[in-house]
Amino acid sequence: MSSVSPIQIPGRLPLLLTNEGVLLPGSTMRTSVDSARNLQLVRSRLLKGTSLQSTILGVIPNTPDPASDAQDLPPLHRIGTAALAVQVVGSNWPKPHYTLLITGLCRFQIVQVLKEKPYPVAEVEQLDRLEEFPNTCKTREELGELSEQFYKYAVQILDAVSLEERFKMTIPLLVRQIEGLKLLQKTRKHKQDDDKRVIAIRPIRRITHIPGALEDDDEDEDNDDIVMLERKIRTSSMPEQAHKVCVKEIKRLKKMPQSMPEYALTRNYLELMVELPWNKSTTDRLDIRAARILLDNDHYAMEKLKKRVLEYLAVRQLKNNLKGPILCFVGPPGVGKTSVGRSVAKTLGREFHRIALGGVCDQSDIRGHRRTYVGSMPGRIINGLKTVGVNNPVFLLDEVDKLGKSLQGDPAAALLEVLDPEQNHNFTDHYLNVAFDLSQVLFIATANTTATIPPALLDRMEIIQVPGYTQEEKIEIAHRHLIPKQLEQHGLTPQQIQIPQVTTLDIITRYTREAGVRSLDRKFGAICRAVAVKVAEGQHKEAKLDRSDVAEGEGCREQILEDAKPESVSDTPDLALPPEMPILIDFHALKDILGPPMYEMEVSERLSQPGVAIGLAWTPLGGEIMFVEASRMDGEGQLTLTGQLGDVMKESAHLAISWLRSNAKKYHLTNASGSFDLLDNTDIHLHFPAGAVTKDGPSAGVTIVTCLASLFSGRLVRSDVAMTGEITLRGLVLPVGGIKDKVLAAHRAGLKRVIIPQRNEKDLEEIPGNVRQDLSFVTASSLDEVLNAAFDGGFTVNTRPGLLNSKL
């Protein structure tokens, strides 16, 4: 057996002072670095060092003294552990700090401290060698995981250099552990004896029923179950009203023959009553700093949502009996509304339960069925409480905007009692027929739009908008969450595949166009599948070559590898060939895997002729850009509208043509024959592409006016301009909704100027700073200002016949 070479550490080591535990040789621990000395050590040695020795540190256990000066070096422990820094993770929020993953190598003794600033460095003497006791590494690691009460024992074990001293230290700890296991075993034995005595009662009772004893076996078992059920009712902590109902029902059950259909119904009802968590709850974790870190780690961006959760935690610290808020996250699909609800539950330390409401059209799904019906059961709220086992979980009411309505009632109306903080402390399910307190439940609803939520239900919820992500946010989400998840699901490692941020940006801009990240996640999945095929083929080739080596012998191994090398290097990546790994995904690889880009058409190509303008629309899936096209022809003055338009959009088109006809002389707009009457012997056709999609709303008014002005003036609308706003017959521009989603859609499309109503200027505060820097915004209060901003050089006004005046 080959011997292991001893580990030699440098004679001088930088000292890392940690108060989070004692690192023993052979064990691994994570430690937080936030003091000035330790921060300077990490930046100077670990982040800038290039050699292996620069990652070896001296770890000294340190107990902070509140009375000592933070600038002075505290007294150092004599014995320390030389450690290898395996991983360094840094963050600037809420303040600069690092997290180190370090592995203990061997112990050392401080000879003298050479310097104290900016971080301590000491001359050290190595005390032991790691390979001398190879079988003790696992024991050291287990001892390192002891709780804080054994901190002093861990320090003594660290100081014990010889093996005999270490045994003297560890044997008392092991004896204490053995005594604890004996006590646990004795307790379990007593419990088993009690169970045996309970089981032994049944045969004794059956002896008294000698005639027909076999027929009475099932009845005796049921009687025992009823006794157990009655005991549970007596010892439960349910309210007085519910307890009275259960006592009444158990009396009826005792007198009821088992053959009656109502027997099983009553028994199921009582079992549900004793299983419900009437007074059982979990204790909230109210550490706001830890909650902030957890939310930041799980979700990128979503600042408004995170702020609301932290506010709830802060108030919960000040008032213990705070009623659970009713939150409603509204945003497009794929932005993380459902996963945020799960993270909120994890942050609070509560149980989580999701109730999918999409397509529910029966109020009994919410309130339950009355027990007079066959097959009756409680509603989803009570059933969810039974599942989680506590009365203060986080309930996620998913897709609350997709509730239906039928002859069985309106489930949205049934939710009014559930989601009303003033009423849900006394919620009555039809199946239970007694009140249950829901005031401690934290309800979170999700929806894509508030348009389909009844006003009364909407009034009971606190709406929190969750907008779509910017390109920069998508890139961060992809590299923090999506790519690691896909690599794990496909059995790949970062050493086998690398996806640069430039490639991620190409996928976002050329292969997806969405507010969320679901399509982006699917694209990464397709890339990982393609790479998995290459990796698997490479492993197969390697195994084939190995079998050939065995068959042919070592003498022909070099020739076989030489013959196979061109194929394995050029065609398929091979884990045995390091130069082929990792596989770098660039634009050419994207084209091979995902096909040609899906969104390659330039906006400028669509605006290469008069009569085309770009509008901004809001949909439940997020903001979208919308082209408006117009053409004119000889006719009888008719206006044709196509593209599945709603009544409101049709009215906007009629308003636009009426305003332009009344201002034709002002802007010198004429038809094909030169008349200022734009509809004189002229038909106009307005079309909104994507004809399969229904469109409605007033926000396309300014776009229609700009499109028609371009058609009649013969001038091109700027190719980098998008606009939104409602118009009036007098030429005023009124505010509209969904500004943030619309602006993000314009940014995704590569546009540079956005025209919005002046009264929507306040909504620009919600736009991320990097998006505001990339776009220029024009706030307009009238159509004159809109036209002036939509055309290069402005839109001129004709003040006298034959003369075009200066810009507006």
Residues noted as catalytic: 699, 742
Instruction: Answer for the pair 657, 677: CB distance below 8 angstroms, yes or no.
Output: no
How far is Cα 442 from Cα 281, in angstroms, rounded to an integer? 12
How far is Cα 579 from Cα 298, in angstroms, rounded to an integer? 35
Instruction: Answer for the pair 531, 491: CB distance below 8 angstroms, yes or no.
Output: no
Torsion angle, alpha carbons of 727, 731, 735, 741, to 10:
60
Which amino acid appears at position 566 of this protein? P
**C-alpha pair distances (Å), 486 with each of 506, 538, 589, 662:** 18, 20, 18, 59
How far is Cα 341 from Cα 231, in angstroms, rounded to an integer? 38
331 is in an annotated binding site: yes
Omega before 64 cis (within 30°)?
no
Could you count the other beta carbons within 10 Å of the beta carbon of residue 495? 10
Provide Rg for the chain, Cα atoms: 37
Torsion angle, alpha carbons of 349, 351, 357, 360, to 10:
-160
Burial of 27 (0-12, 13-18, 19+ CB in 10 A): buried
Which amino acid appears at position 409 of this protein? G
Instruction: Answer for the pair 784, 771: CB distance below 8 angstroms, yes or no.
Output: no
DSSP class of 761: G
Question: Angle at Cα 639 formed by Cα 634 and Cα 642, nearest 5°?
Answer: 115
User: Six-digit token pair at 640?
Assistant: 């044709």
User: Six-digit token pair at 364?
Assistant: 């009994």
- 176 φ, ψ (degrees, to nearest 5): -60, -40
Instruction: Answer for the pair 742, 724: CB distance below 8 angstroms, yes or no.
Output: yes
**C-alpha pair distances (Å), 763 with each of 436, 621, 626, 758:** 42, 20, 21, 10
User: Six-digit token pair at 780?
Assistant: 């307009």
336 is in an annotated binding site: yes
Residue 259: partners with Cβ closer than 8 Å, 6 or more residues away: none
User: Six-digit token pair at 549?
Assistant: 């080596």
Instruction: Answer for the pair 708, 660: CB distance below 8 angstroms, yes or no.
Output: yes
Residue 497: strand pairing partners: 583
How far is Cα 574 from Cα 568, in angstroms, rounded to an integer? 7
Question: Angle at Cα 299 formed by Cα 294 and Cα 304, nearest 5°?
Answer: 95
Could you count the other beta carbons within 10 Å of the beta carbon of residue 61? 20
Burial of 159 (0-12, 13-18, 19+ CB in 10 A): middle
Number of H helices, E strands in the chain: 27, 24
Residue 682: strand pairing partners: 634
**C-alpha pair distances (Å), 632 with each of 678, 687, 710, 713:** 10, 12, 12, 12
335 is in an annotated binding site: yes
Burial of 634 (0-12, 13-18, 19+ CB in 10 A): exposed
User: Six-digit token pair at 612?
Assistant: 């085309």
Residue 30: strand pairing partners: 101
Instruction: Answer for the pair 808, 795: CB distance below 8 angstroms, yes or no.
Output: yes
How far is Cα 480 from Cα 526, in angstroms, rounded to an integer? 18
689 is in an annotated binding site: no
334 is in an annotated binding site: yes
CA 788, 789, 790, 791 dihedral sign is positive
User: Six-digit token pair at 793?
Assistant: 């050089």
How far is Cα 707 from Cα 614, in angstroms, rounded to an integer? 8
Binding residues for ATP: 331-338
Binding residues: 331-338
